[in-house]
Amino acid sequence: MKPKLLSACAVLALLSPIAAQAGQLGEWIGDAPVNTLPAASGGTCHPEAGFSPEGSAARLVDRAIDRAQHSIRLAAYSFTSTDVVRRLIEAKRRGVDVAVIVDEKNNLVEDRSGRGRAALNLLVNAGIPTRTISVFARFHEKFVAIDGKDLETGSFNYSAAATRNSENVLVLWNCPLMAKPYLDHWQSRWTQAVDFRTTD
């Protein structure tokens, strides 16, 4: 099966239940049909994929964060990427409402490098609400919901290691029907998490 066809099939698997519920017709991307969703402003939900270690995964995550105008809700298992931290702080400085939840065990308890704690300190010191969660064996989440309409998800952790691993990122641009369940899920985890207290 061609790589383009595999990517389109992955998008189809993600989108088809909601698209079917919304009564949308299919469109063709490459060699495989995918369903489109109604978008926030008259267009359609536009999927875009990126991969590591080729570099397109990290660039896509960066672009998604940089395009935020109103809100960013990030959920992370591993959170040590200085690039992602910097971009979130820049978003906060330009007036975006940013909030972050991370796995406590991976970023604090088992983080011998100190990079997880350092990243969280930077967020809190920049005024970004940041919580850690420990009520699950692993908080293995990796997604960002942006402006209530864009969604970034995939296997890509927000860490330097993710740029070297074989990883994937999928962004659904202008896709509030997919962003909303992720936002609802994020909020449910936020209420189970605890505020991270800076150690600096």
- Of the residues 2, 4, 70, 140, which is catalytic? 140
Please confirm, yes or no, whether 70 is among the known catalytic residues: no
Q: At what angle do helices 115-125 and 82-93 cross, to 10 degrees?
A: 10
Of the residues 92, 105, 142, 149, only one is catalytic, namely 142
Catalytic residue among 111, 147, 149, 150, which? 147
How many CA atoms, within 13 angstroms, populate the side-chain half-sphere of residue 167? 24
SS3 171: strand
Does residue 162 contact residue 168 with C-beta atoms inside 8 Å?
Answer: no
Answer yes or no: 147 catalytic. Answer: yes
Residue 2 is a catalytic residue: no
Q: Which two tokens stand for residue 78?
A: 């591993």
Question: Is the Cα dihedral 121, 122, 124, 130 positive or negative?
Answer: negative
Question: Helix, strand, coil proportions of the chain in percent (round to 5)?
Answer: 40, 30, 35
Count of CB atoms situated within 10 Å of the CB of 145 = 28
Provide the CA 81 distance to its chain's centre, in angstroms. Answer: 13
- Could you give the residue numbers annotated as active site? 140, 142, 147
